[in-house]
Structure formats: structure tokens, C-alpha cells
Amino acid sequence: MRKAIIIITAIGLGFSGLVQARQASTGSSVQYRWHDAQGLAHYSDSLSADAMANGYDVVNSQGLVMRHVDRPLTPAERAAAKKQADEAAVRKREEEQRQRDDQQMLAAYPDEASFVAAQNDELGSIDQQVSTTRISLGTQEKALADLLDRAGELERAKQPVPKFLSDKIAAQRNVVGSQRALLDRLQASYVNTQLKHEAQLQRYRQLKAQLQQANGDTAQP
């Protein structure tokens, strides 16, 4: 082991002396070092094509690395690096937005009772829309039923159903379908809002607990 250390030290001193000798002969205080595909180190007073392609170190007169320059990225590597940078930027923006939302939530609702009251107001508004839409749907369904009854009476009397009546029935079916779709969306919105409120309330309680702990730590002597 000691013999190996002596050999490595001697190689290092020999290289340092070689660098200094080459610098003394060329008048340069800077050397460039790079490794080829086989991992072998190369040194030069000027940048070669291999150094540019593989990346290189700038070493001073003592053989110490002053700066490292990476090799140029391939198109695929540049694309991957850009994708990672874009994803990191998105995560950063999302985190910054979350922090702003947290601050606004704490500023708008000083206590849990006011926070829950605001959530209930939002649910109440959606519930009112559900009730209104359900009533409207019932009215439109009755209108459609009346039109179908009229067409049925004509058919039972062996009379043709006039075009204007068929058109009204088709239009009324579209109205009923739209009202049913709206009611489905509102009911889904009510459920989703409930789930969102549960997560928001949990987050609110977490933030309030952190704030109380921070205030408690500050108040301690």
C-alpha cells in the first residue's frame, strides 16, 4: 500500500513537472486536459477537436483544475434536458401558486368557522342551481309529454302527424336532453366540490397548526 502511494505521488509530481516544463517551453500558463473514448488523459496548450467533442478541464501551471467544460450535448440529450427544465419550471410555478393560495386562504378566513361557512355557501349555491334545473327539467319533460300525446292521438285516429308537430317534438327532446345533461353536470359538481372542500379543510387545519406552532416557538424565551 505504501509502495503504491509512493508510485502515485511520483507520477503526480512527474506530471506536474511535465506540465510546468511544457508551459515554460511554450510560454503558456494554461493547459487543457481531456479524456478520449478509452478514458486516457490528454494534454495540450490549445483546444483540439477531440477536446471540444469530449469536454475538457482547464488546468493551471500547478496542474490544478480551474474550470471544467462539458462536452456538447447531442440533440436527444438537449431535448431531454429541455424537458426536465420545463417540468421543473412547471413544478416551481405550481408550488409558488400553492403558497399564494395558502396565504390568501389564511388571510381571508381567520378561523375555521368562517372557512367552513364559506364552503357551505358555495355548496348551497350549487344545490340551488340543482333544484332550479330539476324544476325546469320537469317542466320541459311535461311539455314533451304533451306533444307526444298530441302526436299519439293523431296516430290513433289514423291521421298523419304534421311536420310542424314532429319538428316541435324533436326540438323539445333536445331541450330535455340539454336540461338532463346540465343537471348531471351540476350534481357531479356538487360531489366534486364536497371532495375539494374536504381537502381544503384538511390543508387549512394543517396551515393553522403550523402557524400556531411557529407563533408558540417565537413566544418562547
Residues 23-53: pLDDT tens digits? 444 445 668 887 877 888 888 788 778 777 8
Q: Are 69 and 59 in contact (CB under 8 A)?
A: no
Strand pairing report for 41-44 and 56-59: unpaired
Residue 220 lies in a domain: no
State whether 31 and 42 are in the same domain: yes
Range 176-214 burial, b when 16+ CB lie within 10 A, else e? beebeebbeebbeebeebeeebeebeeebeeebeeeeee
Residue 218 lies in a domain: no
- Cα 25 to Cα 186: distance, rounded to the nearest angstrom: 84
State whether 87 and 143 are in the same domain: no
State whether 104 and 122 are in the same domain: no
The domain tally of the chain equals 3
Say if residue 152's pLDDT is above 90.
Answer: yes
More confident residue, 13 or 162: 162
More confident residue, 205 or 7: 205
Say if residue 220's pLDDT is above 50.
Answer: yes
Residue 124 lies in a domain: yes
State whether 127 and 177 are in the same domain: yes
The pTM is what?
A: 0.60
What is the structure's pLDDT at 74? 83
Helix (H, G, I), strand (E, B) or coil at 37: coil
Residue 90 lies in a domain: yes
- Containing structural domain, residue 79: 73-108
